[in-house]
Structures are given as structure tokens and as C-alpha cells.
Amino acid sequence: MEELTREDIKEIMEQVIDAKTKDFWIEREIHYKHHQFIGDLMDWSKNIKNTTLKAIITIVVSSIIGLIVLGFVFWNKQQ
């Protein structure tokens, strides 16, 4: 029986690993574009979150100020 050298074993293992993982291989450019898209999506969602929170806070503060003003108006009408 033929004795395998360290280099032979390394080459065989590389071939086996390549054969098993070829279905999962993604080209570098496509992978990079996916990461760019995910980064853009995260930035967009962060902007939407910030805008939504600012709008909600503005509505709540405006409502409180409006209720205070209405309270003074009705309080002055009663006196």
C-alpha cells in the first residue's frame, strides 16, 4: 500500500473541503454588495426610528401644551 505524505493528505483534504463547500461559495463582489445593502437597510431603519420618535415626542409635547392652554381658557371663562 502506498504511504501518503503530509502534502498528499493536505491536497486530498483541500479537495474534499472544496467539494463539500462549493454549494456555499459566494463571489466576493456579491458578498460585498450584500453587506452594503444590509448596512444601508440598517441606516434607513435607524433614520425611520429617529424620525418616528421625534414625531411622537412632538405630538405628546404639543398635546400637553394644548391641554394646558385649553385649561387656562376654560378656567378664565368660568371666572
pLDDT digits (tens, 9 = 90+) for 39-64: 999 999 999 999 999 999 999 999 99
Whole-model pTM? 0.57
Q: Summarize pLDDT for 15-43 with one digit per residue, the tens.
A: 999 999 988 888 999 999 999 999 999 99
Q: How far is the C-alpha of 70 from the C-alpha of 79, rounded, in Å?
A: 14
Q: Which three cell numbers stand for residue 38?
A: 444590509
Domain tally, the chain: 1
Say if 55 falls within a structural domain.
Answer: yes
Residue 50 belongs to what domain range?
A: 27-78
Say if 19 falls within a structural domain.
Answer: no
Say if 51 falls within a structural domain.
Answer: yes
Say if 69 falls within a structural domain.
Answer: yes
CB-based contacts of 5, cutoff 8 Å, min separation 6: none
Residue 76 has pLDDT above 80, yes or no: yes
Residue 1 has pLDDT above 80, yes or no: no
Say if 5 falls within a structural domain.
Answer: no
* Average pLDDT over the chain, rounded to an integer: 93
